[in-house]
Structure 1
Amino acid sequence: MDKIVLSRMEFYGYHGVYPEENQLGQRFYVDVELFLPLRQAGTTDQLEYTVNYAEVYATVKEQVEGRKFQLIEALAESIASEVLQTYTSINEITVRVIKPHPPFNIVFDGVTVEINRKRD
């Protein structure tokens, strides 16, 4: 299956279990891989045979910046669900949500949740 990848989209959101995360917010990065047939778009050079990735970006932004979740797993699930519901040409999606600076007393370079969902 062909795919379109939107990498390292950067947003500011208020997701987390700790009250400080919900009040102060933090930066999140999101990657999405959109699986859909692209041959017709490639041979015709017409936008109608693909998805407008600017619109997909806006859909992801709405989920990250317009909602609050305790878990980035729930955020990833919401992104996947909304994209599949909105863009019927997409057969499958992989979503990665990266929280680069989780508020823990340990040192590591962020945490990433990755999910893959297919159209029913």
Structure 2
Amino acid sequence: MGMIKLPNMRFYTYNGVFDEEKKLGQQISVDVVIHYPIETAVRDDDLNTTISYVDIYELVKDVTTQQSFNLMESLANAILMALLKQWHQVEGIDVAISKDYIPLAGIYDPFIISVSGTPADLAKWCDQ
């Protein structure tokens, strides 16, 4: 089983709960890992038979920058669902979102939200 990893994709958004986040915006980082049988999908060395990381990036960028969420958890779920709907041939997808700055006094590393899912999970989630 292979993986397509797109780490540290950075986007400027206006997502968040606090007024400052919605007004001033902030940079977030999105990591995506696609678990995918690359070794069998690319035997013919043809981009049309595999998943393009450019297409993954564009989908993540669109969800992240064109929608607004209060919760990073909701953004992570929206990215996961969009990816699963687009590429049914994957074995699983992991999405992590890091916020470098939170309007919170203290010293801390970026806060990270992670979600994972499979095409079977998508079917269950859509039935609810």
2:124 aligned partner: none
For the residues of structure 1 that align with 2:90 and 2:84, how far apart are their CA atoms? 6
User: TM-score of the superposition, structure 2-length normalised?
Assistant: 0.88
With the length of structure 1 as denominator, give the TM-score of the two structures.
Answer: 0.94
Name the Cα RMSD after superposition.
1.1
Number of equivalences: 120
Indicate if the aligned counterparts of 1:28 and 1:100 stay in contact, CA closer than 8 A. yes
Aligned to 1:72: 72
What residue number does 2:126 align with? none
Indicate the residue corresponding to 1:23 in structure 2: 23
Q: Secondary structure at the match of 2:85?
A: helix
1:37-66 CA distance string (max 9 Å, x none): 112344321112210111110100011111
Aligned AA for 1:51? Answer: I
Q: Could you tell me which residue of structure 1 aligns to residue 101 of structure 2?
A: 101
Residues 80-99 of structure 1 correspond to what in structure 2 (within 5 A)?
80-99=80-99
Q: Secondary structure at the match of 2:114?
A: strand
Q: 2 CA distance for matches of 1:89 and 1:119?
A: 8
Equivalents in 1 of 2:49, 2:7: separation in Å? 21
Structure-2 separation of matches of 1:89 and 1:52:
13
Post-superposition CA distance 1:99-120 (Å, at most 9, x none): 0111111111210011111111
Q: Secondary structure at the match of 1:10?
A: strand
**What is the rounded CA distance, in whole Å, between the counterparts of 2:36 and 2:117 in structure 1?**
13
Structure 2: which amino acid aligns with 1:70?
A: N
SS at match of 2:28: strand
Provide Cα deviations, 1:67-105, integer angstroms capped at 9, x if missing partner. Answer: 111111111000000011012222310001000111111
